[in-house]
Amino acid sequence: MRIELSDFPRLSIEQGTGGKAKDPSKSFSDTLKEVVNSTNAQVKEADKMALSLAKGENGNIHETMIAMQKADLNLRLLVAATNKIIEGYNQLLQLR
């Protein structure tokens, strides 16, 4: 199983340099929900693969470990982004 750059969702502010066309009607909250759902799906898939490996149904430890690492990285990125969003919100509240 190859790890591609497109496997990791990104939050970016780049104008037109991404591979996908930007949807102008898509809000920040929609993007955040999409990233949370994607991360959740990857974590669930990694858990399912680990459980199937533990049961002996799937003998491919390499793909299981790669899926678990990808899910872990995405989850850490999501937590870091969430912490930064909360920190920014708190700073905005202090400006008032």
pLDDT tens track for 19-52? 555 667 788 889 889 999 999 999 999 999 999 9
pTM over 0.85: no
Residue 46 lies in a domain: yes
Domain of 61?
27-95
Residue 75 lies in a domain: yes
Residue 16 lies in a domain: no
Residue 34 lies in a domain: yes
pLDDT at 7 over 70: no
Query: What percent of the chain clears pLDDT 90, i.e. is strictly above it?
Result: 59
pLDDT at 6 over 90: no
Name, in order, each residue with C-beta under 8 angstroms of 59's C-beta and a sequence gap of 6 or more.
53
Domain count, the chain: 1
By the 8 A CB rule, do 71 and 43 touch? yes
Residue 73 lies in a domain: yes
Residue 9 lies in a domain: no
